[in-house]
Amino acid sequence: MNYLEEYKKWCESPDFDDETKKELLAIKNDEKEIEDRFYKELEFGTAGLRGIIGAGTNRMNKYTVGKATQGLANYILEQGTQNKGVAISYDSRKMSKEFSLETALILCANGIKAYLFENLRPVPELSFTVRNLKATAGVMITASHNPPKYNGYKVYWDDGAQIVAPRDQEIIEKVKKVKFNEIKTMSKKEAQEKGLLNFIGPEMDDKYLGVLKSLVLNPEIMKEEGKTLKVVYTPLHGTGNTVAERLLTELGIKNLYVVPEQKDPDGNFPTVDYPNPEDKKAFKLALELAKKVDADVVLATDPDADRLGIYAKDTKTGEYKSYTGNMSALLIAEYRISQMKEKGILPENGIFITTIVSSDLAKAIAKYYNLECIEVLTGFKNIGAVMRKAEEKNDKKYVFGFEESYGCLIGDYARDKDGISAVMALCEAACYYKSKGKTLWDAMQDIYKKYGFYKEAQVSIVREGAEGAKEISQMMEKMRNAEIKEIGKYKVKVFRDIEKDIQKNMETGETTTTGLPKSNVLYYELENNCWCCIRPSGTEPKIKLYMGVKTDTDEKSNKELEDLKQAMLKLVE
């Protein structure tokens, strides 16, 4: 793509409106900015279309959203499933409401029914809704936890999971073929009159929350201990509190404090630099409130409420301790699976799904409870794909799934990570352990004592723009082509290049296949139950490094993890 030619076309073509042209003409003397906006088209990554809001092929705007929607519509029409309709939701980001309506009207203009939430709602509720309505697809307008300048477009298929291969590539091919003057649309009035545009109201909340409440394993304990448990919650200006406060209150949590400054949806995210529960700075106001009310648990969901971050009070020190995504998910897993076993409802053919960059503690828990542990590539859509296969074959029963990036799913009612049900499950676990005289921090330490001190870290190296993308590619190639036999003090036992589908035993030299779909991921299995992994982000201008260790003490794990992290950074940079 010649970015200057494409820029000129957008400035001159009648396909683009005056507002767009005005925005682009304002940057006519800034070639670097022009290049960044036009050097490529936005691509589907691990979470669909995602980019900075603005005019250009490499930006989120009504034209790139329109192109994606027209391509999706063409695909649906080719499949002959247009009568099943498409469910659409959106988060609190700038332009989310406008993009969601634009999406609905383009679908309607193509004769496809659209079911649009009348107000913003979380990702997991959309996933549930696709399944509940038996829709052919779903669209969520969100950039998840990205900074405020971003927005995005996630596509779901009829099982409620994000699209995976080969369907994702088939849809992308349709999108690529769409020209901007081929995007169909119609007025809202006409779409409603023809019965094509339908709005989803609070009745879907009732269904969704009803299913979540049915998954509570100890409702009586939750009601009893919920009288005194103190919970601070923040939706970080996103969708979470459209349903979270109601859910927890109805389940018996009497002392629920929602951070007032962050309670209402706001796409500017005025109180945080980065609305991500992975970022400790996002908890500043929540922790201040927690100390004021002496809370037991502090919870935060990201803007589309599929991720959950937590702090729990350690009553021995009075400190609030932060949990990684691995820790919070595996605390939920251990609680729920142990209780299912105790109640005799843990399926014999149960599966526990994790990702290759998540904690190996998952394997230990699965082994202890005699569950099959299945590893997939990064991205919850890959967990959803395993769930779909198990559902179709009816040979395995989903028990739990998670990824290290602060997301898990406690039941098979949806096919994406669910921060709302995670909030519920952690509050239930807190009530249960409270009834035993323990805190959530005590429970986490018990898990480590039972299985070993598994600790993990993730480091992101940011490289923005066209030059950054090139640099990230070079960093990956440098690692791919290097014969790395040691990382820090650990010998490499097995090296996996998942892009090339090669798995090499570094001790014997034997080479086999990885058994995973091709993806730009390099994985190093190290001695002493340690590991490292490197991959470019599918949604942000980052290269991501992951690492994990296991030792017999907390102190030793923390030290060895830090040493491994520094060794990995030295190798990459």
Q: Which of 100, 127, 144, 358 is catalytic?
A: 144
Residues facing 533 on adjacent strands: 523, 546
- The CB-based long-range contact list for 177-181 (8 Å cut-off, 24+ gap) reads 177/71, 177/74, 178/67, 178/70, 178/71, 178/74, 180/13, 180/15, 180/16, 180/63, 180/66, 180/67, 181/15
Strand-by-strand arrangement of the 350-355 sheet: 372-376, 350-355, 397-403, 407-409
What span, in angstroms and rounded, lies between the C-alpha atoms of 108 and 450?
Answer: 55
Helix (H, G, I), strand (E, B) or coil at 395: coil
Say if residue 166 is preceded by a cis peptide, omega within 30 of 0. Answer: yes
Three-state SS sequence of 500-556: CCEEEECCCCCEECCCCCCCCCEEEEECCCCEEEEEECCCCCEEEEEEEEEECCHHH
What span, in angstroms and rounded, lies between the C-alpha atoms of 314 and 440?
Answer: 8
Helix (H, G, I), strand (E, B) or coil at 147: coil
Strand-strand pairing, 350-355 and 308-314: unpaired
Beta carbons within 8 Å of 32's beta carbon, 6+ residues apart = 465
How many Cβ atoms sit within 10 Å of the Cβ of residue 503? 19
Q: Quick check: 96 and 151 in contact, CB under 8 A?
A: yes
**By C-alpha distance, which of 225, 420, 443 is closest to 313?**
443
Q: Quick check: 21 and 11 in contact, CB under 8 A?
A: yes
How many Cβ atoms sit within 10 Å of the Cβ of residue 481? 8
Q: Quick check: 296 and 318 in contact, CB under 8 A?
A: no
Q: Quick check: 85 and 73 in contact, CB under 8 A?
A: no
Determine whether 557 is an active site residue: no
Count CA atoms within 13 Å of residue 502 on its CB side.
13
- Active-site residue list: 144
